[in-house]
Structure 1
Amino acid sequence: MNLVLIIFLMVILLLSFVIIIYYRKINFYKKNFIKIDDILKFNSIKEEHIEEFTREFKSVVKYLLNEKRNLIDSRDELERYKDELKKTHNILLSKSTELEYTNNLLEKRLTNISTLNAIGKSVLSEFDLNKIISIILDAYVVLLGISKISLYLWENKELVNIANKGDIDYNEDIEIDIEKYDENIKGIKLYNIKKEYLEIAHKIKSENEKVYISEIKMKDKELGAVFLLEENISDKKIGIDMETASALALYVAIAINNYIIYVDLSEKERMEKEIAIAAEIQKSLIPDNLKNAFGLEISNYFEPAREVGGDYYDYFISAEGKFGVTIGDVSGKGIPAALLMATIRAILKTLSYYENLPNEALRKLNEILMTNISKEMFVTIFFAIFDTEEKKVLFSNAGHNPFLHYNKKTDSIEEVKVKGVAVGFLEEYEYSLGEIDIGYEDIMVFYTDGVTEAENEKRELFGLNRLKETLDENKEKSAEEIKKSILNEVFKFRGAYEQVDDITLIVMKHKR
């Protein structure tokens, strides 16, 4: 608008200039011709008048010739002005067309930005993958005018075709040369296109199509790619809007990444709930503190390293009415170990009603589990039955830690051992039976390797010797106090270092 006004003013000034020139000329002619006319009015013309007339005439002629030249120059100048005005007019028309195109382009981009924001709000608030994909594909159609779209995502290190828009044929048999440059395959803000993406691009495009590859990436996390196909028209001036395509790819990446996080969190939440339920079930399977039974003062402790542990202990009454104890450690941690522990507990609970000898109970347990346990899993168990009338302990060991026996009479601590492999290792294995006598105020300590293999920050183990020393220092105390003293020493030794294994401890003191 300002440029048109300037040109109009220039034309007005030019016309004014021409009018002024002509006005001056008219005045000159009028003045001089009046003077000549005055001379001619004399009836008698004198010689000096003729000379004056001649001079005036020559002066007028000279002036007229000069003015003629000026008029010619003015005409040429006006022609130049005309040419310049024509050029300016053409430039203004061209600029006006460019401005109109730019304005339309800006309006389109503003519309696209507004649409992108709406799509972003919609897709980022959605956690259903099918709905996310549907919104994304429709967005490419609306914003880019693309009718053929293929979406691939990485799953277990493989590219999987999740969805397509339009008629896309995947040609598996086509021979391709990845190293050969193909001008009809381009990356959207992607300079080093992955080999896997190039292979797919070659296999989904026809001869008269172009493929634009838009990578779906969140920081360094590669999620997949969107393949946009359009007809390869040679005289097409404008291709797809790269900025819009790139912005769409970012929304796709954020939405899919959010979905993955949502699924992971949902799975984690589900697992946490299952673990919490399993932990509650496991706690319900662990027996209550007996404190006293069959002349034995009893104190126990159980603390899994995770929410659910693989350690196990239980008390029972044998078929002959004798008191028994089992303590075990299932290989591994977490829910699988806890499930196996619960199975073993149920089997041993049943076997204890029918078997009076610990080694026979372990043999039958091994026989049952050999066909129902994975090769990666096994369990160590120590099985003991107390005959308080005869003051004896019968026991059998399936690869578990030996128990400690403090003999009050001899004032000595002994590791009570009997050989045996873990349950689930060997078929038809015969377990050995051991027997010791117990007297008044004898102490027995059963434990899992979470006690003796507790580590400190130097990666040192608590060890069996420290356990013996702690027992020796506290042998005059009650079973409860001995248990607390052992745990205090273990915790003090471990310090700030995390608990890496389940801890189970049973202390029994014979009071008859």
Structure 2
Amino acid sequence: MDSQSLYKKYEEILLNYLENRNERALYKAQQFGRKMIEQNISPEEVVSMHVKVLSRTMPNLDKETLDAFDFLLEVMVDYGLAYREHQSLRNKQRQLDSEIEVAANLQQSLLKGDVPDCEFADIGVISQPAKKMSGDYYHFVNDNHNCISVAIADIVGKGIPAAMCMSMIKYTMDSLPEQRMQPGSMLENLNRVVEQNVDPNMFVTMFYGLYDPRVQEFFYSSAGHEPGFFYSAKEDQFTELEAKGLVLGLTRSTKYNEYVKKVHSGDMIVLLTDGVTECRTEKGFIEREEVVSLIRDNMEKPAQEIVDHVFYELEKLQDFDLRDDFTLIVIKF
């Protein structure tokens, strides 16, 4: 529709409304408004048409009314520019949200870890992202010797870059099966990959351990990751799984020490990310002892029920609004 036809149509609709002042006339105006949006007619152009129609059909309009329309026209010029910019930003945001949704679904598909079913341990896992994209990662492998290796990692950084980094780490781990018996060597290999391929402003913490049922020992190393907990049934006591080591990606030649824990029936290993221990409430951050207390209160339950309960209680303390990615693993022997 050209500008002349548009003007005549608007004049017809406006005069029809002024003559009848009914709902049908208003409905026609609304329908015409949609057509103008489809043709990218700006708000100031609509006001300009309105003034021209009134000036032609009501030539005796007083000067104050015409000046008021001129004022409205000036206002609508800036309003129209701002409105179009707002609409453009909204469209870009919708497109970005759609792309993030696709990336989040892809991340979940790629990084979803299967929890092994084994006779000597009961394993519970919960991993919840604070936003659509998670910076946490966990991974289990049950090898041919019936050993179970477990990795838990946290990327300092969020969004799509963090998800891409996690995917790279996962496939690096999958390509190094011969190293699974050596947690220190696994971290050293991963460290070289991260140092070469990840932005210097993004680094990764990781805890990697392996339980060997043949000797009933848990071997582990850490790359600057949040310390886990070890529960000794004999002593009825929780202690920290302390392990020193630089975060992945700082220097290529980093070496990682390997530690070992003797495991007995009734013992328990707890691994987590800092989204668990740095739970922020109105009173500030919770203490690590509070996490241990929640676990202790539910120790008789299956491992999955323990992690689910801890997550619920800590999420409730945050008014069900996670501030950080949350990953908790409990292994009961």
TM-score computed with the length of structure 1 as normaliser:
0.51
Aligned position for 1:104: none
1:364 & 1:261 partners in 2: Cα distance?
48
Q: What is the aligned residue count?
A: 292
Deviation, 1:318, is 4.9
Q: Is the 8 A contact 1:315 1:326 kept in 2?
A: yes
Q: Is the 8 A contact 1:391 1:438 kept in 2?
A: yes
Q: Is the 8 A contact 1:294 1:323 kept in 2?
A: no
**Residue ranges of structure 2 left out of the alignment (5+ in a row):** 1-6, 15-28, 53-65
In structure 2, do the counterparts of structure 1 residues 497 and 484 end up closer, same or farther at CA, with 3 Å as the change threshold? closer
1:508 & 1:302 partners in 2: Cα distance?
15
1:252 & 1:317 partners in 2: Cα distance?
67
Aligned position for 1:461: 285
In structure 2, do the counterparts of structure 1 residues 127 and 318 end up closer, same or farther at CA, with 3 Å as the change threshold? farther
In structure 2, do the counterparts of structure 1 residues 124 and 453 end up closer, same or farther at CA, with 3 Å as the change threshold? farther
In structure 2, do the counterparts of structure 1 residues 475 and 355 end up closer, same or farther at CA, with 3 Å as the change threshold? closer
Deviation, 1:247, is 5.1
Aligned position for 1:470: 294
In structure 2, do the counterparts of structure 1 residues 262 and 385 end up closer, same or farther at CA, with 3 Å as the change threshold? same
| SS in structure 2 at match of 1:284 | helix
Aligned position for 1:500: 323
Q: Is the 8 A contact 1:413 1:468 kept in 2?
A: yes
| SS in structure 2 at match of 1:292 | coil
Aligned position for 1:170: none
2:151 & 2:321 partners in 1: Cα distance?
27
Q: Is the 8 A contact 2:111 2:170 kept in 1?
A: no
1:344 & 1:388 partners in 2: Cα distance?
26
TM-score computed with the length of structure 2 as normaliser:
0.76
Task: Give the partner amino acid of 2:308.
Answer: K
Q: Is the 8 A contact 1:317 1:353 kept in 2?
A: no
Aligned position for 1:59: none
Q: Is the 8 A contact 2:146 2:212 kept in 1?
A: no
Q: Is the 8 A contact 2:149 2:180 kept in 1?
A: no
Q: 1:315 aligns with which of 140, 154, 179?
A: 140
Residues 1:358 and 2:207 aligned together: no
> Highest CA radius of gyration, 1 or 2?
1
Q: Is the 8 A contact 2:116 2:142 kept in 1?
A: no
Q: Is the 8 A contact 2:111 2:167 kept in 1?
A: no
In structure 2, do the counterparts of structure 1 residues 433 and 303 end up closer, same or farther at CA, with 3 Å as the change threshold? same
Q: Is the 8 A contact 2:116 2:141 kept in 1?
A: no
1:277 & 1:449 partners in 2: Cα distance?
27
Aligned position for 1:391: 216
Deviation, 1:355, is 4.5
Q: 1:481 aligns with which of 284, 294, 305?
A: 305
Deviation, 1:496, is 2.0
1:275 & 1:474 partners in 2: Cα distance?
37
Q: Is the 8 A contact 2:303 2:331 kept in 1?
A: yes
Task: Give the partner amino acid of 2:292.
Answer: K
| SS in structure 2 at match of 1:281 | helix
In structure 2, do the counterparts of structure 1 residues 127 and 449 end up closer, same or farther at CA, with 3 Å as the change threshold? farther
The Cα RMSD (Å) is 3.3
Which residues of 2 match residues 118-267 of structure 1 at below 5 A? 125=37, 248-267=73-92
Task: Give the partner amino acid of 1:382.
Answer: F
Deviation, 1:349, is 2.1
Which residues of 2 match residues 23-34 of structure 1 at below 5 A? none
Q: Is the 8 A contact 1:352 1:361 kept in 2?
A: no
Identity over aligned pairs, percent: 28
Q: 1:490 aligns with which of 301, 311, 314?
A: 314
Aligned position for 2:63: none
Task: Give the partner amino acid of 2:140.
Answer: Y
Aligned position for 1:429: 254
Q: Is the 8 A contact 2:245 2:256 kept in 1?
A: yes
